[in-house]
């Protein structure tokens, strides 16, 4: 049923992503595309650490790369990560959205338009409103939406912003998100 998962996060995101990724099954097959607000800093050390905690392949996304199953793609620093019509990666240096490049909204919207009801969108901890409009668009296109409970998130602004403008399918504490992903994808 589902063909991909998109995850967006900012402040506190390294911890949140680690908690989710390390608890996915070894044979998890869906591709996961991630925007983590890191400014212009490199992803290398985090990607290396995650690769040691999961059997999935964790990497920085490359332009025109075909999206593969069982792979976790991180947006490169200072590029928007998008999904194109051929189920490939598109990178953009268009202006910042919500003061961010990469932008969660940009990823979520392009993935929603491509995958429609075959997409799971997850919005986690963060200190700005990026991702709220994107996760709303995922829901409008028929996808399934999960928002971290703002009351237990490291930074509540990002998940609370989404909940203000839409009713997510699931509002969960961080530790319940991996089991919900497994339930939805089995």
The residue range of the domain holding 75 is: 4-185
Catalytic one among 10, 103, 110, 156?
10
Q: Looking at the predicted structure, is the pLDDT value of residue 53 above 90?
A: no
Active site residue 37: yes
Choosing from 37, 103, 110, 161, the catalytic residue is 37
Condensed to tens digits (0 to 9), the pLDDT of residues 70-92 reads 999 999 999 999 999 999 999 99
Residue whose C-alpha is closest to residue 123's, from 74, 61, 52, 172? 172
Beta carbons of 79 and 89 less than 8 angstroms apart: no
By the 10 Å C-beta count (0-12 exposed, 13-18 middle, 19+ buried), 151 is classed as: exposed
CA 48-49-52 angle, 5° bins: 90
Taking 90 as the threshold, does the pLDDT of residue 44 lie above it? no
| Rounded alpha-carbon distances, angstroms, from residue 22 to 19, 47, 81, 92, 103 | 6, 13, 23, 29, 24
Mean pLDDT score of the chain, rounded to an integer?
A: 95
38 has a pLDDT exceeding 80: no
Residue 62's pLDDT is: 96
pLDDT for 172 equals 98
Q: How confident is the model at residue 64 (pLDDT cuts 50, 70, 90)?
A: very high
Please name the residues in contact with 177: beta carbons below 8 A apart, sequence gap of 6 or more: 19, 20, 122, 146, 148
Beta bridge partners of residue 9, listed in sequence order: 36
- Phi-psi category of residue 132: left, alpha or beta, with phi > 0 → left and psi -120 to 50 → alpha: alpha
Of 110, 130, 156, 161, which one is the catalytic site residue? 130
The predicted pLDDT at position 39 comes to 64
Can you count the helices (H) and strands (E) in the chain?
6, 9
Q: What is the pLDDT of residue 46?
A: 84
pLDDT for residue 133 is more than 90: yes
Q: Which residues pair with 36 in a beta bridge?
A: 9
- CATH number at 8 reads 3.40.50.180
C-alpha 163/C-alpha 159 separation (Å) is 6
CA–CA distance, 149 with 54 (Å, rounded to integer): 25
Q: What is the reported pTM?
A: 0.97
Q: Residue 156 catalytic?
A: no
Number of domains into which the chain is organized: 1
> Where residue 37 falls among pLDDT bands split at 50, 70, 90?
confident
Is 10 catalytic? The answer is: yes
């Amino acid at each position: 049923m589902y063909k991909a998962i998109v995850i967006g996060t900012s402040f506190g995101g390294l911890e949140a992503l680690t908690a989710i990724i390390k608890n996915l099954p070894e044979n998890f097959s869906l591709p996961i595309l991630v925007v983590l607000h890191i400014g212009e800093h490199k992803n290398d050390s985090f990607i290396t650490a995650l690769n040691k905690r999961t059997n999935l392949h964790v990497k920085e996304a490359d332009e025109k790369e075909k999206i593969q199953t069982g792979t976790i793609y991180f947006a490169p620093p200072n590029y928007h990560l998008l999904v194109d019509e051929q189920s490939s990666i598109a990178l953009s240096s268009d202006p910042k959205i919500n003061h961010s490049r990469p932008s969660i909204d940009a990823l979520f919207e392009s993935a929603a338009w491509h995958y429609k009801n075959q997409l799971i969108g997850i919005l986690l901890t963060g200190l700005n409103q990026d991702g709220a409009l994107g996760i709303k668009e995922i829901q409008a296109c028929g996808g399934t939406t999960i928002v971290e409970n703002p009351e237990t998130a490291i930074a509540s602004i990002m998940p609370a912003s989404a909940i203000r403008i839409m009713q997510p399918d699931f509002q969960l504490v961080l530790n319940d998100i991996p089991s919900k992903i497994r339930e939805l994808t089995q």
